[in-house]
Amino acid sequence: MVYKKTFGDRVFDVVIALFVAFVIIVTLYPLIYVFSMAVSNPIAAARGEVILFPKGLDFNALWRVLNDPKIFRYYYNTLWYTVVGTATGVIATSLAAYPLSRPEFAARNVITKFVMVTMFFGGGLIPTYIVVAKYLGLYNNRLALILPGLTSAWYIMVARNFFSSLPGEVIESARIDGASEYRIFGQLVLPLSKPVMAVLAMYYAVSHWNGYFSAMLYLAGKQDLQPLALYVRQVVIQNSVSSVGGEESAAETTTEQLLSALQIKYAVVVVAVVPMLLIYPLLSKNLEKGLMIGAVKA
């Protein structure tokens, strides 16, 4: 039986296609514009002649950013926070979510309610700062960016709902065969949960890669531990362009460097954003399935 679309169906399809095209354009335009500004001719960029694609090619701004000796330290710190924070976050979230998904766990409803309360109520900025900096002693410590945000109530709920969607018969069969709960979780549940693991990894990675506020609070006295996001903030928001490229670049200010000052801000953004853009396609095939099952199933 062949279904023939009505006029209303075709109009609906056109509207949806136009809306999707609009969303794609709105999403891609800032990315293309930022990259174009970073590699355009400095004079064309200063005059505002760059609309979408580059006007001429000039990689001096990117070269100055990559030649900045501080950029590699910031990159190392950000990679450390991202890798360690993502790994520990995914582990902690999955360990917290799996017991809450099992109907045989008697206290799961009570604990789930306590977890959900934290989604709506928090201690506030000042009490949190006092606990982290004074009582935990994590001021100017790398763990200040890992432990306070180790997991999230929302991510626990997403993972819990995904674990609840797994066939209970498979878990019961493994339990009857004598498998322990640790073995069931490690060798059976986790291999079946790649979609939600990809979602959690992406969320945590993006959060740690872009996070700057916690670093600004807890790492203010130790620049050697600060992440790349604070470097981007320093250049883009605080206009500290003269520090990019090292002491020689700051001492020898030329007309060309003044013209490229605006471009340096865009170049810094490009350097900070590109790694996340490269990682996303590797996880995209699992993101949609993990989000749909983890977020919709009750």
Q: What tokens were used for 41?
A: 């001719």
Per-residue pLDDT of 167-177, as tens digits, reads 888 888 888 88
Flag the least confident range among 85-99, 126-140, 284-298: 284-298
Q: What tokens were used for 240?
A: 């500290």
Whether residue 287 is predicted with pLDDT greater than 80 in this model: the reply is: no
pLDDT of 87 = 95
48: confidence class by pLDDT, cuts 50, 70, 90:
confident
Average pLDDT, the chain: 83
Per-residue pLDDT of 176-206, as tens digits, reads 888 888 888 888 888 888 888 888 888 899 8
If phi > 0 it is left, if psi is from -120 to 50 it is alpha, else beta; for residue 48 that is left
Give Cβ neighbours of residue 199 (< 8 Å, ≥ 6 apart).
Answer: 158, 286, 287, 290, 291, 294
**How far apart (Å, rounded) are the C-alpha atoms in residues 182 and 189?**
10
Alpha-helix residue ranges (DSSP H) falling in the chain: 7-39, 42-46, 60-67, 69-101, 108-120, 125-129, 153-164, 168-176, 181-184, 190-192, 194-210, 213-218, 228-236, 246-251, 255-259, 261-296
**Within the chain, what is the greatest distance between any pair of CA atoms?**
77
pLDDT of 59 = 83
pLDDT of 277 = 79
CB atoms within 10 A of CB 37: 22
pLDDT of 16 = 94
Question: What percent of the chain stands above pLDDT 90?
Answer: 21
pLDDT of 290 = 54
Flag the least confident range among 49-53, 148-152, 284-288: 284-288
pLDDT of 240 = 58
Per-residue pLDDT of 203-244, as tens digits, reads 899 899 988 899 999 998 888 899 988 888 888 776 655 556
pLDDT of 222 = 86
